[in-house]
Amino acid sequence: MLRSLIGLILLASVSSDPLFEGQYRASVDDFQPMELLELSPIPRLKSSAIAPDIGAKAAILMDYDTGLVLYKKNSDEQMAMASLTKIMTAIIILENHALDEVVTVGSNFSGIEGVKIWIRQYEQLYVEDLLKALLIRSAGDAAMALAEYHSGSVEAFVEEMNERARTLNLTDTHFENPIGLDADDHYSTAFDLAILSKHALHMSAFRSIVGMEEARIESVDRKIDHYFKTTNKLLGSYLNILGVKTGTTYAAGESLINLARNEAGREVIAVLLNSPDRFQENKSMIDWAFRSHEW
């Protein structure tokens, strides 16, 4: 009881600090009371800190442990999300399937738009390997194969994506496909995507895969192999970027989500939607977060 009370007092002191006014927001529905018992350090903005100048149409910086928002710009505006969509695709697969399950690709996906690794119809691949193609290379054919495997049809899978969004209280998110192709009713917000990423990052397999710079996967019979590199240019940079997801379409522009960790082990989620220079702006946000906050 005492530890919970201390946690509540600390949280109240942050929200009442004028330096934090208009800067911080936590997700009520993502909040777990047990987190107070762990007494996660609460980030405090230094008095001399100047917010970063971000050209992206929408952005958010979130402390991973507490869910507190360190910076935001149009974070509740509904926008196209491109391949950031694939985070939800991965969540549904990881929540329902073992990594060593075998997927027989039932359809020919060579004609779909966007990035592909050219999976062949009737090729057999492990769930884990399709997730690598989905999250490292951002392969749309891997997304379609996983969707069809899980739900029997892509349409049924999209229904489940939207139902999962509702259970996660992503009230400004709606899916029309598991890839991220532009569509009128396919949208999310920087805030919703930060919460979605926070949920996915609790899964060790997701964390492991999104941190990979490259991968080579084989069909179950080892007759076909696929080699690909990450689309996330910040992996391996001077900042300790643990990776999450890139996305680019005509409507979404250049978008990016990254998880970063400082020397003290504190982690932040940085989301950019429709950025003129997503990798540089993402670095700037993360660098500012760690230089301008104390935990």
Residues marked active site are found at 83, 86, 138
C-beta atoms surrounding 133 within 10 Å: 26
End-to-end Cα spacing for the chain:
23
In a 10 Å sphere around its CB, with 0-12 CB exposed, 13-18 middle and 19+ buried, how is residue 282 labelled?
Answer: buried
Helix axes 154-167, 140-151, angle to 10 degrees: 90
36: tokens are 């107070």
96: tokens are 């329902």
Q: What H or E segment, with its residue span, contains residue 10?
A: helix 2-16
The Cα 275–Cα 92 span in angstroms is: 28
CA torsion sign for 94, 139, 118, 225 is negative
